[in-house]
Amino acid sequence: MAVVINDAAQFADEAVKGFVLANHRYVRATQGGVLRSTKDTESHVAVVIGGGSGHYPAFGGMVGPGMAYGAVLGNVFASPSAHQVVSVCRKADQGRGIMLLFGNYAGDLLNFTRAGQILKEEGHDVRILPITDDIYSAPKNERIKRRGIAGDLAVIKIASAAASLGYDLDEVERVSRLANDRTNSIGVAFSGCTLPGADHPLFDVPQGKMAVGMGIHGEQGIDEVAAPSPDQLAELMTTGLLKESPDVEEAAKPRVVPIVNGLGSMKYEELFLLYSKIEKLLVKSGLEVLDPQVGEFCTSFDMCGVSLSLLWMNDELLDLWNVPADSPAFHQGVVSQEDLSTDNELYPQTESNDEETLCVEASEESHACALRLAEMMHTISYVMDEKVDNLGRIDSIAGDGDHGIGMQRGATAASTAAGNAVILGAGLRTTLNTAADAWEDKAGGTSGILWGMMLHAMAKHCDDTNPPTDADIVNGIVAAKNAVMEFGGASCGDKTMVDAIVPFADSLETEDGPLSATWRKAAQVSSAAAEATKDLLPRMGRARSHGKQALGVPDPGALSFSYIVSALTPYFEDRGMDDSEATTADGDLVRAS
């Protein structure tokens, strides 16, 4: 549990500020994360890494000469937004392309993929690789579905070394994928982790037990066994990884780099003790052990646990592994200072051109609608404040427990942004787009990008001149549904937010009558559909690997959607209602201003 904390919502931002101050030799702050404070004298492919905070040294601690050029840093256990990724990549690109590396989690995949699309549209050459080393999260024949854990280090080191040697983007991508294919990991935990500001862990491990196969975002283990002795633990981990060994024919004696990774609160002495058992088993299995790494490389905040990764070497990968590197958390050999420049003009301390000027030209009618929208955003923010703990509790059962916090951050940011836009005189479309950007940036994760996408889709059916008709609003909601399904890839029955969105949008589209009469029914249909997700097995998202553990609880994304559309019912039932108040789906009074 974090004890050095001011405001939980600001924890990650404050931690990043301190990290930069303590490591100014290596990194410089930029919008969305950090960049190298030095650059190579010759241009190279820019390796950009990233993910949520709470995993240090991943990801900021792996930025420096011979390592990544930049790291995108989201909130605790929440992927950075696509805007953050784009911002860091714009500054990191040296003209030879960008290699994006991140752990394979739903939110990261959506946000980094979207960022890649934006960057390509701007003319950047971008390659994307989700790291998939966690053997417990999917079977071997479905490696593409596996999570990324401490194997991140192996892939980041190989990709960064190739870039520093001048490999072109095609070659950097090739060796990155080779390293990913040859890296496998397994993790165990003896206790769960606690998010900053929370008073209980995301999951509990019973006394005398050990969770096997948990994720690094507080996801519960796939299996639970009696707490083993060090010998038994080493046997469990090495045996599991050796069964997953790739086909290696480059050497008579297969070579591996073992990475023993502490997950947050396991002491280094414990890690060393465990490694002594692991190396003995690896050698006994006929492997040549090279350059063992024992320490913290990818943590899960304060989780008491450990993971083991094996990088299976060939000659090329070994040469790349031995390339010198120097970063706050990982060092290899000695980096030549002659190859570095301290000219930081390429990496300014702050962004200067990322923020677009807000258009405030709007008709009085559209501005009045924008004011109404700001009130609705305030109501949404209020409802998320009320529901944050319940959503987090449900999400922790078969997810990572941060859905409530993410929704709260996003809704609060959207409410503030909408209010500020209205003060500047913005119309409906501008205000809605501004709120969408704020939600996406501050929420991060899956919910952030999907809610940002939905609001942007709805904005296309509004303008800054004319008030929207009922048809405009319905068409906007249908467009939001289509955007989420197309980009996220989920369908009804997958146990995601889509299970609540589709029946809501379909009901509005098919029911006859004015919106004032159809909204409540659609909201009720959505609420019933969200509740019914408790009987579904998850087929997408972080809960997918937990299978039956997710039965009996509804999907938190579907629930939060139903809470929101229910809370907005009064705004559509009576457009002439007193703007000072509305009621939530639970009948509670909500002050809209």
| Closest to 157 (Cα-Cα) out of 61, 51, 36, 67 | 67
pLDDT for 549: 67
- Indicate if 445 and 303 belong to the same structural domain: no
Lowest model confidence (mean pLDDT) among 12-21, 59-68, 466-475, 584-593: 584-593
Place of tokens 């087929």: 539
1 lies in a domain?
Answer: no
What are φ and ψ of residue 211, in 5° steps? Answer: -85, 135
pLDDT band at 349 (very low <50, low <70, confident <90, very high): very low
CATH number at residue 107: 3.40.50.10440
Q: What angle do CA 501, 449, 419 make, to 5 degrees?
A: 90
Q: How far apart are CA 441 and CA 80, in angstroms?
A: 7
Asked whether the predicted pLDDT for residue 72 surpasses 70, the reply is yes
For residue 311, the cross-strand partners are 183, 257
**Domain endpoint, select from 257, 291, 323:** 323
Mark out the alpha helices in 254-360 (DSSP H runs): 268-284, 315-321
- Indicate if 382 and 315 belong to the same structural domain: no
Across the range 540-564, mean pLDDT stands at 78
Q: Percent of the chain having pLDDT more than 90?
A: 75
Q: What angle do CA 125, 128, 131 make, to 5 degrees?
A: 155
Q: How many domains does the chain have?
A: 2
In this predicted model, which residue has the larger pLDDT, 36 or 585?
Answer: 36
Across the range 21-43, mean pLDDT stands at 94
Place of tokens 């913290």: 296
- Indicate if 373 and 435 belong to the same structural domain: yes
Residue 464 has a CB neighbour count (10 Å cut-off) of 21
230-242 helix and 268-284 helix, angle to the nearest 10 degrees: 50
Across the range 97-121, mean pLDDT stands at 95
**Domain endpoint, select from 300, 323, 346:** 323
Asked whether the predicted pLDDT for residue 209 surpasses 80, the reply is yes
pLDDT band at 542 (very low <50, low <70, confident <90, very high): low
CATH number at residue 426: 1.25.40.340
2 lies in a domain?
Answer: no
DSSP letter for each residue of 103-135: E--HHHHHHHHHHHHHHHHTT--EEEEEE--BT
pLDDT for 195: 85
Category of 351 on φ-ψ map: left (φ > 0), alpha (ψ -120 to 50) or beta: beta
pLDDT for 378: 97
For 506-569, give the secondary structure using H, E and C: HHHHHCCCCHHHHHHHHHHHHHHHHHHHHHCCCCCCHHHHHHHHHCCCCCHHHHHHHHHHHHCH
Side-by-side strand order, sheet with 46-53: 27-30, 33-36, 70-76, 46-53, 98-103, 126-131
- Indicate if 147 and 74 belong to the same structural domain: yes
332 lies in a domain?
Answer: no
Coil, strand or helix at 148: coil
pLDDT band at 352 (very low <50, low <70, confident <90, very high): very low
Which CA distances in Å does 307 have to 134, 185, 222, 550?
10, 7, 14, 24
Omega before residue 57 within 30° of 0, cis: yes
> What pairing do the DSSP bridges indicate for beta strands 33-36 and 27-30?
antiparallel
pTM: 0.86
Q: Which residues are catalytic?
A: 217
- Indicate if 148 and 297 belong to the same structural domain: yes
Asked whether the predicted pLDDT for residue 344 surpasses 50, the reply is no
Q: How far apart are CA 184 and CA 310, in angstroms?
A: 6
Q: Highest mean pLDDT range out of 218-222, 439-443, 539-543?
A: 439-443
Residue 329 has a CB neighbour count (10 Å cut-off) of 20
216 lies in a domain?
Answer: yes
Instruction: Spell out the long-range contacts of 517-526 with Cβ–Cβ below 8 A and sequence spacing 24 or more.
Output: 517/573, 519/565, 519/568, 519/569, 519/572, 519/573, 520/569, 520/572, 520/573, 522/565, 523/562, 523/565, 523/566, 523/568, 523/569, 523/585, 524/566, 526/500, 526/501, 526/561, 526/562, 526/565, 526/566
339 lies in a domain?
Answer: no
DSSP letter for each residue of 358-373: PP----HHHHHHHHHH
Across the range 77-102, mean pLDDT stands at 96
Across the range 523-548, mean pLDDT stands at 80
- Indicate if 420 and 544 belong to the same structural domain: yes
Q: How far apart are CA 482 and CA 118, in angstroms?
A: 19
On average, the pLDDT of the chain sits at: 89
Sign of CA dihedral 377, 383, 389, 392: negative
278 contacts 234 by C-beta, under 8 angstroms = yes
Q: How far apart are CA 573 and CA 578, in angstroms?
A: 12
Q: How far apart are CA 255 and CA 287, in angstroms?
A: 6
pLDDT for 196: 87
- Indicate if 289 and 407 belong to the same structural domain: no
- Indicate if 169 and 231 belong to the same structural domain: yes
Which CA distances in Å does 82 have to 87, 132, 442, 536?
9, 20, 11, 30
Q: Which tokens go with 472?
A: 């405009």
Q: How far apart are CA 452 and CA 448, in angstroms?
A: 6
Across the range 171-178, mean pLDDT stands at 98
3 lies in a domain?
Answer: no
- Indicate if 300 and 372 belong to the same structural domain: no
Full residue range of the structural domain in which residue 384 is found: 364-591
71 lies in a domain?
Answer: yes
pLDDT band at 350 (very low <50, low <70, confident <90, very high): very low
Which residues, other chains included, contact 63 with Cβ-Cβ below 8 Å and sequence gap of 6+?
26, 27, 34, 35, 36, 49, 69, 70, 71, 327, 328
Asked whether the predicted pLDDT for residue 581 surpasses 80, the reply is no
Q: Which tokens go with 246?
A: 């790739």
pLDDT 10s digits, 254-270? 999 999 999 999 999 99
- Indicate if 289 and 406 belong to the same structural domain: no
- Indicate if 304 and 435 belong to the same structural domain: no
Asked whether the predicted pLDDT for residue 347 surpasses 60, the reply is no
- Indicate if 311 and 384 belong to the same structural domain: no
Lowest model confidence (mean pLDDT) among 85-94, 225-234, 339-348: 339-348
Q: Percent of the chain having pLDDT more than 70?
A: 90
Q: Which residues of 229-262 are buried (b: 16+ CB within 10 A; e: fewer)?
A: eeeebbebbbebbbeeeeeeeeeeebbbbbbbbb
300 contacts 264 by C-beta, under 8 angstroms = yes
328 lies in a domain?
Answer: no
Which CA distances in Å does 275 have to 136, 169, 268, 294?
21, 36, 10, 8
Place of tokens 């929704």: 407
**Domain endpoint, select from 323, 354, 383:** 323
In this predicted model, which residue has the larger pLDDT, 298 or 202?
Answer: 298
